[in-house]
Amino acid sequence: MAGGVGFAADGHSAGADRSTLRLALTVGGLVLAVLLGFGLGRANPGPTTPSGTSAAPATGDHTHAPGTGAHEHGTGTDQAADSGAGGFSVTSAGYTLTPSTVEFGAGRAGEFRFQVRDEQRRPVTRFAVVHDKPMHLIVVRRDLTGYQHLHPTMASDGTWSVPLTLGEPGVWRAYADFTAVADDGRQTAATLGVDLVSPGDHTPRPLPAPATTTTVDGFTVGYEGTPEVGKALPLRFHVSAGDAPAALERYLGAYGHLVALREGDLGHLHVHPVATPTGDTVTFWLTAPGPGRYRMYLDFQVAGVVRTAEFTVTVP
């Protein structure tokens, strides 16, 4: 046959035999690689989302059973998993935030009502208690003024409600921070965000210059430490009344509660304190997810009154 290959005496092509051998070895290698990869995946499945799909593993991944009290981390390694920015969308990790309204008159007392729904659009009614509450709601104007930390209450149908007043016109951001419990008991922590609108003319305020000390209601609040991108580093806050340390009280199960928001995209960082005895110093481990300017809000309680100290920090 013109252009054909030569045949051996037994009627088979020697070249074809070699090609067949190489193909068999290649296919066998691919099958072995797939089997090994499957085995490794089975041995290390990683955390899962409510849909049952595998999620990227996170250092210090953990869950909370319903009724869990204050949740405190003791190491920077734990913090690395909790400090990624979130709250960019109304939908995340299989859950969706559905508000009843997003418009509020400036300076008028209103009520913010919403549900958290699962992938089947069913209202979620089971939540783990984290930091003494099943739901934390952070509200702030997009220029990072007017910070509020609220705790809605839930009706039996899964509708959350909380009194809310937006003090000035503008676009505000609301963050629902929670840990949902699925029907099969799996728990998923999520931070969902939605914009709220207060109609009227407004001029965004520039972010205050970075500072490590501020005053609020006669208390002096300062901190030591410098956040860095991708590194879990401690920030040590101290509160004093005059020359003496303030008598800090537990608030949400700890002696302080810190929220950080990134200027621009308003990425939300919810960090946790290290378990510490009573004193004027509260340590948080924080990992900056990227460079930029952040506004930090430290909630602390003295004599039954919760106050908020605010700081601007620049992460290069």
Answer for the pair 239, 302: CB distance below 8 angstroms, yes or no.
Answer: yes
Q: Are residues 93 and 190 in the same domain?
A: yes
**For the domain that residue 298 is a member of, what is the CATH number?**
2.60.40.10
Q: Examine residue 117 and state whether it is found in any structural domain, yes or no.
A: yes
Find all residues with CB under 8 Å of 130, minimum gap 6, and list them.
64, 68, 71, 136, 178, 179, 189
Going by the DSSP 8-state scheme, the letter that residue 122 receives in this structure is P
Domain-ending residue, one of 172, 198, 224: 198
Residue at which a domain ends, from 150, 169, 198? 198
Same domain for 157 and 259: no
Do both 193 and 219 map to the same domain?
no
In a domain, 193, yes or no: yes
Print the domain residue range for 260. 213-315
223, 236 contact by CB (below 8 A): yes
Q: Please indicate, yes or no, if residue 248 is contained in any of the structural domains.
A: yes
Least Cα distance to 127 among 179, 176, 175, 64 occurs for 179
Domain-embedded: residue 57: no
Do 162 and 235 lie in one domain? The reply is no
Is the residue at 132 inside a domain? yes
Q: Are residues 146 and 236 located together in one domain of the fold?
A: no
Q: Could you say which of 173, 198, 223 is where a domain stops?
A: 198
Quick check: helix, strand or coil at residue 38?
helix
**Which two three-digit tokens encode residue 37?**
């990869």
Q: Looking at the structure, tell me whether residues 235 and 292 fall in a common domain.
A: yes
Q: Is residue 146 part of a domain?
A: yes
The reply to whether 248 and 189 lie within a common domain is: no
Residue whose structure tokens are 């104007």: 141
Question: What does the pLDDT profile of the chain (316 residues) look like in tens digits?
Answer: 433 333 333 344 444 444 443 434 343 443 333 333 333 333 333 333 333 333 333 333 333 333 333 333 333 333 333 347 899 999 999 999 999 999 999 999 999 999 999 999 999 999 999 989 999 999 999 999 999 999 999 999 999 999 999 999 999 999 999 999 999 999 999 999 999 999 999 999 999 999 999 999 999 999 999 999 999 999 999 999 988 999 999 999 889 999 999 999 999 986 877 876 666 689 999 999 999 999 999 999 999 999 999 999 999 9
Same domain, 185 and 225: no
Distance of CA 294 to the CA centre of its chain: 15
Instruction: Determine, yes or no, domain membership for 152.
Output: yes
DSSP 70-103: -----SHHHHHHH-S-B---SEETTEEEEES--B
Residue 271: predicted pLDDT? 81
Residues 124 and 166 reside in one and the same domain? yes
Clarify whether residues 191 and 272 are in a common domain.
no
Residues 148 and 178 in one domain: yes
217 and 176 in a common domain: no
Give residue 253's pLDDT: 87
Q: How many domains, the chain?
A: 2
Q: Is 292 contained in some domain?
A: yes
CATH at residue 155: 2.60.40.1930
Which residue's entry shows tokens 């209601």?
217
